[in-house]
Amino acid sequence: MKKALVLAGIVGLGTVFGQVNDVSATENLENEQDQVEEEREDVQDEITSAEQELVDLMDDLDELEADLAELNEAIEANEAAMDETEGEIDENEAVVEELEAEIAEIEADMEERFDLLKSRASSYQQNGSSNVSYIQVILGAEGFADFISRIMNVSRIAEADEEFIDELKALEDQRRDTQDEHQSTLDELDEQFVEMEGMDAHLTEQIEETEALKEDVSENEAEQEAMIDELIAEESDLAAAEADLMERIEAERERQAEAERRAEEEAAAEAEEAAEEQAEAEAQAEQEAQAERAEQAAAEENASSEENNTNSAENSSSAANESPNSAASNNNSANNNSNNSSNNNSNNSSNSSNSSNNTSSESTNSTSSNTSSNNSSSSNNNSNNSSNNTSNNNSSSNNTNSNSSNESASSSNASNSSSSNSSSSSSAPSGGSGIEDLISNGREYIGNSTYVFGAGRNQSDINAGRFDCSGFLSWAFSSIGMSMPASTDGLATAGTRVSSSEKQRGDIVFFDTYKTNGHAGIYLGNGTYLGAQSSTGVAVADMSSGYWADNYNGYVIRPNY
């Protein structure tokens, strides 16, 4: 019995130690798999982030290309306007030259007529007096009719000379006025052409800057794509490593299961063999004990028979009468002894069987199983009680959490409401609804407008969303009933000048581009302004950094809203 238990214990310990080593190996593989999986997830996150950055770069590249297209379109429009202005300049110069020639002819005619008048006056002086000459002309008439005719001719000549001189002077004045008009137009065209040249240089500079940005973005895009390829390759390697680890873990688990099955089979076979040997030994010992008890019973029965025979010989008279009863009694006693012996043997056999069964049960850990089952049942009962208690506690906790959540939500709503009211109060514009209407109307052209120099001054341009900076501001102010100039020079005096540190939402801010105050926009606050830019059309631009910060000159006009 003890031998079987010891053998079973040794086999069990060997199995336990083997299982511990196997579990350790499996845990190591699983830990390694978890580490690889974490690294793979990190790489996947990096890939997602890099792909998003690549998408952003591609969007930036598309925006830059769109900006370049708009800038090129603006340059083409500006150059077309320059060509048109240059043609108008040539036409006006030709007209001025023609007028100068006409004025020279008029002056020559006037000079000639003055020379004629001078010669007449000289003739009058040489002949004495104009009156004498006049009388001589009249008295030289051959008759009355000739007299009348001479008088009329002399008067007509004098009137004609006077009218002709007046006409020449009027014509000269007219030509000079026309010349002044064309010269003024020519001066304006020259000034406009200079501005267009400055705008062309400004647009060219913006194109160069945009091209440089485009090259930088393209380089970043290429670097980002290369990094994504590297991350994808790394993720692929990690995925292969993870798959290999999973196969190794599965193989290790199968090996452990097979080893456990074989160990259990070997332990069961060894325990069964030990139990059989123990049962055979106990059965043999029981048989020897039964034989010994049978011999002892037979000896006792023989001694009792001899004693009965002696008593029978001494009492012969009574022996005959009592012999049947005595024999019956002896038989009964013998039978009783035999039955007792049989019963004892049967009980011993039963005990032996029970002992054998108990040995077999011990070898198969039946007792341990029953104890474990009882403990498990008790544990389950305790677990159920604990589960019920936990459920009640969780229910109470959930109610508490629910109340806390409701109180937190109520507090959050109150806080948000207070914050919203405070924010609404603090963000109210200082210029009233007129400023907000101005800005709201201007924002309608964001994303659907084009910058064209000199545009925005007629309904066709406004409907098509074609503006330059001053044209856009003039239209925006007209949308709220205010008349403002359509030039940056005019806007620079259309209100009260304030310091840059005092600028407010709705003020007009100016920038030095191709000239001083060459660009203007409506200040929105927080370092931004709304205006028509050559690269974007109508848009909100940042004047706190970059190009517009560099060109902001601090000149601010506050319109009279």
> For every one of its 561 residues, what pLDDT tens digit does the chain have, with 9 covering 90 and above?
444 444 444 444 444 444 545 667 778 888 888 888 888 889 888 888 888 988 888 888 888 888 888 888 888 888 888 888 888 888 888 887 887 888 788 778 777 776 776 676 555 555 544 444 555 555 665 655 655 666 666 666 667 767 777 877 887 788 788 778 878 887 887 887 888 888 888 888 888 888 888 888 888 888 888 888 988 888 889 888 888 888 888 888 888 888 888 988 888 888 778 777 766 776 776 787 788 888 888 888 877 777 666 655 555 444 444 443 333 333 333 333 333 333 333 333 333 333 333 333 333 333 333 333 333 333 333 333 333 333 333 333 333 333 333 333 333 333 333 333 333 332 333 444 699 999 999 999 999 999 998 899 999 999 999 999 999 999 999 999 999 999 999 999 999 999 999 999 999 999 998 889 999 999 999 999 999 998 889 999 999 998 899 999 999 999 998
Q: Give the CA-trace dihedral at 412, 415, 420, 426, to 10 degrees.
A: -150
Tokens of 529: 């302004």
Which pTM value belongs to this model? 0.34
The tokens of 92 are what? Answer: 């006006």
What are phi and psi for residue 525, nearest 5 degrees?
Answer: 110, 160
Phi and psi torsions of 365, nearest 5°:
60, 35
Q: Is the dihedral of CA 282, 285, 291, 295 positive or negative?
A: negative
Cα 463 to Cα 445, 467, 520, 529, distances in angstroms:
10, 10, 22, 23
The residue extents of the domains of the chain are 2-117+199-253, 433-558
State the pLDDT at residue 376. 32
Determine the Cα–Cα distance for residues 414 and 420; give it in Å rounded to an integer. 10
Q: Which of 383, 357, 511, 498 is nearest to 430 (CA)?
A: 498
- C-alpha 442/C-alpha 528 separation (Å) is 14
Q: What is the SS3 assignment for 555?
A: strand
Helix (H) or strand (E) segment spanning residue 497: strand 496-498
Which DSSP category does 561 fall into? Answer: -
- Strand 552-558 relative to strand 519-525, pairing: unpaired
Which residue, chain included where needed, has tokens 């109180």? Answer: 407
Give the pLDDT score at 484: 96
Query: What stretch of H or E contains 521?
Result: strand 519-525
Cα-to-chain-centroid distance, residue 201: 38
Q: What is the CATH code for 433-558? A: 3.90.1720.10
- Amino acid identity, residue 375? N
How crowded is residue 171: how many other Cβ atoms within 10 Å of its Cβ?
Answer: 16
State how far the Cα of 33 lies from the Cα of 27, in Å rounded to an integer.
10
Residues 22, 11: Cα–Cα separation, whole Å: 16
pLDDT for position 205: 86
Residue with tokens 């931004």: 528
Q: C-alpha angle 247/250/253, rounded to 5°?
A: 150
Predicted confidence at residue 535, as pLDDT, reads 81
Query: What pLDDT score does 149 carry?
Result: 65
Element (H, E) at 531: strand 528-533
Q: Is 156 exposed, middle or buried (0-12, 13-18, 19+ CB in 10 A)?
A: exposed
Alpha-carbon torsion (236, 238, 242, 247), positive or negative: positive
Q: What was the pLDDT predicted at 395?
A: 33
10 Å Cβ neighbour count for 355?
A: 17
Amino acid type, 357: N
Tally Cβ neighbours within 10 Å of residue 362: 18
- Residue 462: HSE in the Cβ half-sphere, 13 Å Cα cutoff: 14
Q: How would you classify the pairing of strands 466-467 and 519-525?
A: unpaired
